[in-house]
């Protein structure tokens, strides 16, 4: 066992999650730093410039030469003038460079750290340091010491470095009491730490399995896990079964803790039907129902005049509206709330344009929005008016308190949208929380029009908003059913409607935009996929390779997202010395890769620049499903830059890379609201709940010019025949019916 000491010259590599580090250490001799060696091992938290003592065994690496495999280390206060100077000037302390570090050391010598600890105000005796700056420097030195101690403490409980930083940022020195008394508190208060992670820590601390903290946290975890699958509530019977499986406790203990959670107002269980909600989910659903009910104001006068306007619209545009489209314009003119639904080729865009034309002629202020940037861009192109994402329409705020994952909007009941008409496209994608935020910003008297295809998959977030509204029977609904002649020329449109009706597709029929390639082996499917993407489709649909999207029903398996992305990355963006990359939790992120944001983060800042590199626009928020390209990977600064739609550039620290995943292949669910020049869909085998009509219909309708199905026809026919969809527990429709019947609960 060899022991060395010196200061860290350079951190060559560090895995932000497990702490594995390669660093260059300048070893201290009698008077100076004589040798530089490479150290490899697991380091909890170290910075360049720090002075350490490390023990381990030397070995000779075939590529990197001699290196010390570190078994243990400790961070020391530098014990000579040169070490102190190098530590302070290494850049790890904000606002302290080499020149200032040199002046501090010349002033205080070997007593520098003692002065910082016990008399930090004396740093102001050094030229260039104010009293305020002196205290800031001392605070940083102390904080780094506290953070390092916290990291080492948390590592004993199996906490990763990235998670340890989050815990320290949340609790500071109070984390020791949280770990000792109630680790489950972290699951409630820190994004990214779930019940299972907290439970593992609790076991190591010695907290009993029948602890009230554990049972209550487990019950909330089950409800929140259900929401990640789209559920707003769970029937009590379901909640009981799932929680008991998770917690392995007796029913008496479970029921007592349910009652405690109800008394603490953390969950609500309706007496009428024994449905269990997380409290804010219940009130969000109830308030949404009340606001929709209040918007539903009708006015019967002036129908003849509206008909005259419709005739004028037809004359001005040269387009003849069918009866359902005319009805949609009429209902929009005379109702505070309207829903328009229809499949591809049924004239939804023409109808929206006619409604816009009507309200423009009657001098109404109109706002257009959609749930995603891609959908908003398509809406802008189709209407000629600017459409925004709903988040941008509501003016998302950067002042969000403690959580990056909870939205706050400047537009709300106190500062409503200044518009007479608000039209929302792709409404099937709108989840319960986004709908609630939108409704808060729409005053009674402003018309709200939702447009969407109810046969597409429901929102990624909790709720079944569009379907609940359509099926409750409380509002005016126009269902567009006629497929127009131009759309009839597209097999994408015709086959989408056949899938929706459960009709068997003729997969052998020649088609210019709907292709089926028979392959009965997953590797042969992948080979055909690569040929299509690299050689055939770009020229055929006149687009870049990056614009072609692979859509698959599942994440796991031979044709799942995870395997396909690794293969597609190797062919579409192979490893190259000119491309920097970063491995994070088993995923390689490489410059040039296509990636997707997989959770809403309302605090991520983006900026847009002109061709001269001058920033012209800044904003907040990157959302679940947003796709972009990795432009730079900076392993020194531990930052990765991603360019999203419209040239929005976002910097991610390496600690934030769990918010991104490769997007050469994505699940069909994640493709909602998007449209691509061509899509390639592998269909072979998979879980029955994923291989259904709804999934296939959504995949096919994502293609603008060409859809390619790869697999065997039997699977496609089975999907078309399988109407079963995953049941979502959502009560918005019931709340709306209760309000209509006058039995709704008061707010």
- Say how many C-beta atoms besides its own lie within 10 A of residue 95's C-beta: 10
What contacts 558, CB < 8 A, 6 or more positions away? 522, 523, 684
Confidence check: pLDDT of 579 > 90: yes
Domains defined for the chain, CATH in brackets: 2-73 (2.40.50.140), 81-141 (1.10.150.20), 292-481 (3.40.50.300), 490-711 (3.40.50.300)
Average pLDDT, integer, range 527-531: 96
346 labelled as ligand-binding? yes
pLDDT at 665: 97
- In this prediction, what percent of the chain has a pLDDT beyond 90? 47
Q: Is 552 annotated as a binding residue?
A: no
- pLDDT, residue 75, reads 77
Element (H, E) at 588: strand 587-590
Mean pLDDT of 723-740: 88
Q: How far, in Å, CA of 243 to CA of 228, rounded?
A: 16
Exposure letters 515-551 (e unless 16+ CB within 10 A, then b)? bbbebeebeebbebbbebbeebbbebbebeebebbbb
Strand 51-61 vs strand 2-14: parallel, antiparallel, or unpaired?
Answer: antiparallel
What's residue 497's pLDDT? Answer: 93
β partners of residue 11: 23
Q: Are strands 514-518 and 476-480 parallel, antiparallel or unpaired?
A: unpaired
* Per-residue confidence (pLDDT) for residue 682, from 0 to 100: 96
Contact 731, 273 (CB under 8 A): no
Question: Strands (DSSP E) along 373-435, which ranges?
Answer: 387-389, 421-424
Say yes or no to pLDDT of 94 above 80: no
Least confident residue range of 454-458, 534-538, 626-630: 454-458
Query: Distance between the two ends of the chain, CA-based, in angstroms?
Result: 70
Q: Which of 162, 190, 197 is nearest to 658 (CA)?
A: 162
> Is the predicted pLDDT of residue 569 greater than 50, yes or no?
yes
CA dist 447 and 52 (Å) reads 67
Task: State yes or no: pLDDT of 491 exceeds 50.
Answer: yes
Q: Is 218 a known ligand-binding residue?
A: no
Q: So what's the pLDDT on residue 405?
A: 47
How far apart (Å, rounded) are the C-alpha atoms in residues 309 and 303?
10
Question: DSSP readout, 229-245?
Answer: TT-S-EEHHHHHHHHHH
Per the annotation, does 347 bind a ligand? yes
> Phi and psi dihedrals of 429, rounded to 5?
-85, -10
Cα-based distances in Å from 191 to 217, 403, 593, 603, 665? 15, 7, 26, 13, 26
Q: Binding residue per annotation — 192?
A: no
**pLDDT score at 363:** 94
Distance, in Å, from the CA atom of 499 to the CA atom of 491, rounded to the nearest integer, reads: 12
Give the whole-angstrom CA distance, residue 168 versus residue 729: 37
Beta strands in 62-194 (DSSP E): 65-76
Confidence band (pLDDT; 50, 70, 90) for 120?
A: confident
Lowest mean pLDDT among 144-148, 414-418, 447-451, 548-552: 144-148
Is 49's pLDDT higher than 50?
yes
Q: How many CB atoms lie within 10 A of CB 308?
A: 11
Instruction: Summarize pLDDT for 260-280 with one digit per residue, the tens.
Output: 999 999 999 998 889 999 999
Residue 401 pLDDT: 43
Residues 6+ apart with CB under 8 A from 156: 204
pLDDT category, 402, cuts 50, 70, 90? Answer: very low
Whether 744 has a pLDDT exceeding 60, the answer reads no
Q: What is the pLDDT of residue 299?
A: 80
Yes or no: say if 690 and 725 are a contact pair by the CB < 8 Å rule: no
DSSP string spanning 162-224? Answer: HHHHHHHHHHGGGHHHHHHH-THHHHHHSTT--HHHHHHHHHHHT--TT-HHHHHHHHHHHHH
- Report whether pLDDT(393) > 80: yes
Question: pLDDT tens digits for 456-486?
Answer: 888 888 999 999 999 999 999 999 998 886 7
pLDDT in tens, 203-262: 888 888 888 888 888 899 899 889 988 999 999 999 988 988 888 877 667 888 889 999
Q: Which of 33, 41, 28 is nearest to 67 (CA)?
A: 41
> Quick one: how far is CA 231 from the chain centroid?
18
Give the tens place of pLDDT for each residue, 318-333. 989 999 999 999 999 9
Average pLDDT for the chain: 87
């Amino acid at each position: 066992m060899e022991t060395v000491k010196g200061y860290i010259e350079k951190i060559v590599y560090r895995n932000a999650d497990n702490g594995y580090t390669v660093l260059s250490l300048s070893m201290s001799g009698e008077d100076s730093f004589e040798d530089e060696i490479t150290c490899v091992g697991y380091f909890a938290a170290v910075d360049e410039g720090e002075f350490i003592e490390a023990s381990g065994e030397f070995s000779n690496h075939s590529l990197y030469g001699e290196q010390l495999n570190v078994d243990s280390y400790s961070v020391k206060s530098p014990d000579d003038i040169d070490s102190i100077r190098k530590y302070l000037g290494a850049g790890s302390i904000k606002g302290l460079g080499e020149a200032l570090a040199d002046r501090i050391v010349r002033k205080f010598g070997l007593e520098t750290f003692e002065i910082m600890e016990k008399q930090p105000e004396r740093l102001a005796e050094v030229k260039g340091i104010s009293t305020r700056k002196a205290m800031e420097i001392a605070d940083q030195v102390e904080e780094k010491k506290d953070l390092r101690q916290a990291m080492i403490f948390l590592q004993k409980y199996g906490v990763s470095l990235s998670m340890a930083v989050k815990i320290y940022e949340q609790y500071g020195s109070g984390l020791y009491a949280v770990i000792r008394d109630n680790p489950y508190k972290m699951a409630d208060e820190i994004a990214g730490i779930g019940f299972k992670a907290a439970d593992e820590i609790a076991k190591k601390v010695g907290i009993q399995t029948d602890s009230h903290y554990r049972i209550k946290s487990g019950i909330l975890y089950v409800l929140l896990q259900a929401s990640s699958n789209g559920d707003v509530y769970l029937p009590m019977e379901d909640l009981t079964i799932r929680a008991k499986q998770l917690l392995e406790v007796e029913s008496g203990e479970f029921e007592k803790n349910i009652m405690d959670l109800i008394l603490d107002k953390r969950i609500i269980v309706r007496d009428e039907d024994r449905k269990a909600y997380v409290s804010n989910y219940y009130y969000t659903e109830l308030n949404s129902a009340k606001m929709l009910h209040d918007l539903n104001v009708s006015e019967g006068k002036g129908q003849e005049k509206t008909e005259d306007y419709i005739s004028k619209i037809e004359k001005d545009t040269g387009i003849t509206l069918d009866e359902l489209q005319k009805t949609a314009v009429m209902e929009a003119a005379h109702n505070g709330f309207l829903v328009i639904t229809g499949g591809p080729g049924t004239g939804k865009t023409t109808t929206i344009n006619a409604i816009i034309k009507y309200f423009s002629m009657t001098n109404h202020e109109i706002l257009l929005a959609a749930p995603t940037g891609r959908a908003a861009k398509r809406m802008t192109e189709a209407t000629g008016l600017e459409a925004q994402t709903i988040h941008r329409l509501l003016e998302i705020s950067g002042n969000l308190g403690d959580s990056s994952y909870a939205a706050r909007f400047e537009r709300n009941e106190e500062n409503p949208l200044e518009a007479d008409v608000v039209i929302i496209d792709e409404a099937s994608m709108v989840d319960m929380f986004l709908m609630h935020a939108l409704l808060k910003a729409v005053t009674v008297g402003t018309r709200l029009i939702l447009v969407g295809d109810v046969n597409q998959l429901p929102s990624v977030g909790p709720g079944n908003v569009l379907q609940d509204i359509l099926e409750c029977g409380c509002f005016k609904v126009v269902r567009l059913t006629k497929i127009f002649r131009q759309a009839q020329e597209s097999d994408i449109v015709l086959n989408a409607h056949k899938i929706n009706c459960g009709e068997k597709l003729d997969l052998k029929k020649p088609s210019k935009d709907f292709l089926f390639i028979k392959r009965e082996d997953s590797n042969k499917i992948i080979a055909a996929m690569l040929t299509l993407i690299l050689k055939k489709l770009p020229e055929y649909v006149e687009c870049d390779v990056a614009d072609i999207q692979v859509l698959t029903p599942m994440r796991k398996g031979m044709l799942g997202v995870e395997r396909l992305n690794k293969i597609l990355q190797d062919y579409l963006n192979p490893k190259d010395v000119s491309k920097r990359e970063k491995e994070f939790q088993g995923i390689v992120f490489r410059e040039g890769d296509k990636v997707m944001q997989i959770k809403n983060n309302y605090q991520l800042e983006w900026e847009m620049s002109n061709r001269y590199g001058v920033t012209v626009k800044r904003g907040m928020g990157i959302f679940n499903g947003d796709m972009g390209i990795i432009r730079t990977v900076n392993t020194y600064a531990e930052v990765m830059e991603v360019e999203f739609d419209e040239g929005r550039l976002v910097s991610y620290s390496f600690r934030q890379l769990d918010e991104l995943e490769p997007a050469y292949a994505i699940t069909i669910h994640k493709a909602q609201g998007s449209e691509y020049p061509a899509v390639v869909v592998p269909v072979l085998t998979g879980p029955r709940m994923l291989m259904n009509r709804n999934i296939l219909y959504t995949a096919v309708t994502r293609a603008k010019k060409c859809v390619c199905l790869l697999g065997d026809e039997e699977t496609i026919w089975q999907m078309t025949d399988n109407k079963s969809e995953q049941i979502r527990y959502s009560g918005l429709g019931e709340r709306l019916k209760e309000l209509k019947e006058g039995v709704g609960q008061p707010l």
